[in-house]
Structure formats: C-alpha cells, structure tokens
C-alpha cells in the first residue's frame, strides 16, 4: 500500500515547541525563588564574620589591597570598595560560607575563591574596567540539589567577570548593564544552572560553557547592539533559552548530548545572527525573529529532532540541516522579501515544511515575495510540504525541491504569480501532490513548473490556473502516472 503521511502545518510545530516553555517557566521559578545573598548575609553567616570597607580617592593609580581568608563553616565576608585601582583577594574553605561584595569605582580587581559546598557569592559592581574572578569548588551531592551560588550585578563599561564552578550542583545568575563588558562562565559535571537575567548595552560578550548531564543556560533578555552570546553544553538534558532585542547581535548555541532543547525565542532587531548546533538525540531547536537582514542556521545530527526557523522581516537567510530519522524541519517566513531558505535532511521518515506569506494579518494579509527556497531530502518515506501565499499572493519566488529515495511525497500549495518551481525526484513510488495527498494546486500568472521523476510507480497530479504559465513533466521509468490540468 502506498505510504501516506499527514501534512504538518506550522501551527503544529509552534505548538510542539511552545509546550517546552512550561519547562522554561518552571526553571524561571527556580531562579526567582533563590533569595538575594545580601539579605542572607547575617542569617547564613553564623560563624565568623569579616566586614571590610576600603575607600580611596577617585582617580588613584594605585589603590588599596586586601587579602582575606577564612577556614571553617558558616563564615561570612562583607566587602565594600569605594574608589579606583583597589585589589581584593577573598578565600573561604569550608561549607555554607557567604561572600558579599559591593564595588564602586574603576579599575578594581576582585578575586574570590570558595572551596566547599553550599557557598554563596554575590558581587555588585558600579563602575568601569573592573575585573572580577569567582571560583567555587565543591563536591557533588544528591540528584537535583543546588550547592554553590554566584550572583553578579554589573553596571558600567569594560568590565570583565569570570565565574568558574566545579563539580556538584552550582547556580550562577548574572545581570550586565553597560558597554563592552565580558562575561565568562564555566561549569563542569552534574547539576548546573547558568542565567543571564539581563544584558543591556552594546558590544558585550557572554560565553557560557557547561559539561555534565543536567545543565541549563538561559539568557532571558539582551537589549542593545553588537552583542555576542556563545553557549556550549556537553552532556545530557541540557536546556538553552533566550530573548534578544537590538541590532547586530550574534548568538550561537552548541550542544552535544541527549535530550537537548535550544530556544532563542522571539528576538527583535536587524543584522542579527543566530546559530544552533545540536549533536545527539531527542533535540528541539527554535528560532523566531522580527527584524531585517538576519541570518539563522540550525544544524542537528541525531534522531527525533525538531527544527524551526521563523521570520517577519526582510533579507533573511535561513539554513536548516538535519541528519537522522523521524526529524521535522520547518521554516516559516510569514512576512518579508528577498529571503534565502535552505533545508536539507538525510534519513528516513522526515518531514520538511517551508512556508512564505502564510497566515492572516488583518485584511491585508502577509507579504513574502522574491524569496529563494532550496530544499533537499535524501532517504525514504520523507515528506516535503511547500506553502507559498495565503490571504495575499506570494510572487516572484524561486523554489527548488529535490528528493532522493523511495516512497517520498512533495506537497505543493502555491498562490502567486511569476514563481519558478523546479522539482526533482529520484527513486520509486514517489508522489508530487497537494494537501492530504490530494491534487496539488498552483494559482497565478506567469508560472513556471518543471517536474522530473526518475524511477518506477511515480505519480504527478494537480492543476495550474492562470495565464502565461508553462508546465514541463518528465518521467523516466515504468508504471508512472502524470495528470495535470491547466486552466
């Protein structure tokens, strides 16, 4: 019996990916439930307490220097630095220790080292060209427990923050407001969570590297221009989220392991680049955009992956590549012009969905003209679904679809004029049809349709309505059927 596959609409894909947001919301609750370390200071520091206050005139070339060290449990250090060019080194050895630092000024250096479990460090910086390095080293523990915490709030320009957390369950939350700041977070093994709760300003760089089996890297808001965020997870059950607002932003994801989920969410702005790379199984990827001149790229290698890229804007480039079986790849260009879309899948029982100018947007509808869509599938029982035009026709598009293998389906629904469609199928029992395997429908003037099938038992059925159109169907093999109606 001929293999049939139900066509998949973009709304289904969005619903599948939206379901993942419940997990994100749960993790947001975890983050929000962590109290401020500053408010915990006197309560948690039941052992020894050091209160250090250093004040130096602004503009000093050489400021004050302090070296602090505590051994034992439930110790606390409160550090207040006012002025420029101060140096602070704070060490704690033991468990349940607390460090709180408040730094006001420029070109200060703070180095914090905590060795133990359930240690807390919070640093608040207001100034420029400050350097803060936090190291937390602790042992692992029961599944799902958060041990060491690092909270950092930076306001100013040219600051450098480095957070290094060792084995166990560590948690880092960072907020940056300013220009040309650098944040580097390293977490290794087991249960880690890293958050960029806010990044406001231009020219900031954030790099997060995680290794373990249950990591979360989240950047909830990036506002500004020319910011770069790079996240890498090595392990299982990794989650990455994000929201970007601004221009000339660059975001890159890379995950290696199982059950990974990467979501950029809706990001607004121009000239942005978002890249997601996942190697493993059961991966999900989503990219949304509202802006111009953006580039997206999703690469997934593994099984049961879902890839999605959406756009509302101009001059966007999409590229989706998946290698494996039972994958779903989708690009939805709701509104825009001169976009280039490339989708490639290798494996069996994959579904590919490319849409332009679909959906409803009041009486005017969506517009998507002069787009280039290049889609290829290699394998068996694959389905390629192409939708051009909705309530408003989509015109002057170039569509190139190639399938290699057996029992593949190309599903076409085209509404617009002066579109060029080139289809190539190589294999047996392949179909070129329409929605729900009914006849394909092409509507518009000046259309060019070229279909080539090489193999046996292939089928082409559909209709083209409009003036000035041309149809070319070539079938090489036995027991092929072609039924085309032109009106």
Tokens 């989509």 found at: 394
In the DSSP assignment, the letter for residue 152 is E
User: Are 368 and 337 spatial neighbours (Cβ–Cβ below 8 Å)?
Assistant: yes
Sequence-ordered list of residues with C-beta below 8 angstroms from that of 219, at least 6 positions apart, any chain = 195, 196, 199, 206, 229, 231, 241, 242, 243
In the chain, pLDDT over 90 holds for what percent of residues? 23
Closest CA to 3 of 405, 363, 394, 476: 405
Greatest alpha-carbon span in the chain = 90
Closest CA to 332 of 360, 298, 355, 353: 355
Rounded to whole angstroms, the Cα distance separating 105 from 57 reads 10
Quote the crossing angle between the two packed helices 21-33 and 10-19, to the nearest 10°: 30
- Specify the pTM: 0.70
User: Are 58 and 81 spatial neighbours (Cβ–Cβ below 8 Å)?
Assistant: no
Confidence class of residue 130 from pLDDT cuts 50, 70 and 90?
A: confident
User: Are 42 and 13 spatial neighbours (Cβ–Cβ below 8 Å)?
Assistant: no
Determine phi and psi for 402, rounding to 5 degrees. -130, 135
Position 16 pLDDT exceeds 60: no
Mean pLDDT of 351-379: 75
Determine phi and psi for 165, rounding to 5 degrees. -120, 135
Position 462 pLDDT exceeds 60: yes
Mean pLDDT of 104-111: 89
């Amino acid at each position: 019996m001929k293999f049939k596959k139900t066509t998949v609409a973009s709304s289904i894909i969005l619903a599948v990916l939206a379901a993942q947001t419940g997990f994100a919301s749960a993790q947001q609750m975890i983050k929000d439930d962590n109290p401020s370390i500053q408010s915990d200071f006197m309560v948690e520091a039941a052992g020894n307490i050091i209160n250090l206050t250093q004040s130096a005139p602004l503009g000093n070339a050489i400021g004050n220097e302090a070296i602090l060290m505590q051994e034992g449990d439930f110790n606390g250090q409160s550090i207040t630095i006012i002025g420029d060019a101060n140096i602070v080194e704070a060490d704690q050895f033991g468990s349940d220790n607390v460090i709180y630092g408040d730094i006001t000024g420029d070109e200060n250096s703070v180095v914090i080292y905590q060795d133990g479990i359930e240690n807390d460090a919070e640093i608040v910086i207001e100034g420029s060209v400050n350097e803060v390095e936090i190291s937390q080293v602790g042992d692992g523990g029961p599944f799902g427990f958060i041990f060491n915490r690092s909270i950092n709030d930076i306001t100013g320009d040219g600051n450098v923050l480095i957070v290094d957390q060792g084995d166990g369950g560590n948690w880092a939350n960072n907020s940056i407001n300013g220009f040309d700041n650098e944040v580097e977070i390293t977490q290794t093994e087991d249960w880690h969570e890293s958050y960029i709760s806010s990044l406001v300003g231009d020219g900031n760089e954030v790099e997060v590297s995680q290794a373990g089996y249950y990591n979360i890297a989240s950047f909830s808001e990036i506002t500004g221009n020319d910011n770069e965020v790079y996240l890498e997870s090595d392990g299982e059950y990794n989650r990455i989220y994000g929201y970007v607002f601004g221009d000339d932003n660059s975001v890159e994801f890379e995950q290696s392991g199982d059950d990974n989920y990467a979501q950029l969410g809706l990001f607004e702005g121009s000239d942005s680049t978002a890249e997601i790379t996942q190697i493993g199984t059961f991966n999900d990827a989503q990219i949304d955009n509202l802006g111009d001149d953006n580039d997206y790229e999703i690469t997934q290698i593994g099984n049961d992956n879902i890839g999605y890229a959406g756009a509302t804007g101009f001059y966007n480039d999409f590229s989706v590549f998946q290698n494996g079986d039972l994958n779903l790849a989708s690009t939805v260009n709701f509104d825009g012009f001169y976009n280039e879309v490339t989708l490639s899948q290798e494996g069996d029982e994959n579904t590919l969905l490319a849409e332009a100018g679909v959906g409803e947007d009041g009486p005017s509808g969506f517009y998507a003209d002069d787009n280039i869509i290049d889609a290829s599938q290699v394998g068996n029982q694959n389905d390629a679904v192409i939708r051009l035009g909705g309530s408003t026709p989509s015109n002057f598009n170039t569509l190139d679809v190639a399938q290699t293998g057996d029992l593949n389906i190309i599903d076409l629904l085209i509404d617009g004029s002066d579109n060029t469609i080139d289809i190539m199928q190589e294999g047996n029992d392949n179909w070129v049809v329409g929605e729900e395997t009914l006849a394909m429908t092409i509507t518009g003037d000046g259309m060019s349709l070229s279909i080539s099938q090489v193999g046996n038992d292939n089928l082409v059925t559909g209709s083209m309505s409009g003036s000035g159109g041309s149809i070319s169907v070539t079938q090489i093999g036995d027991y092929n059927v072609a039924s085309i109606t032109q009106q």
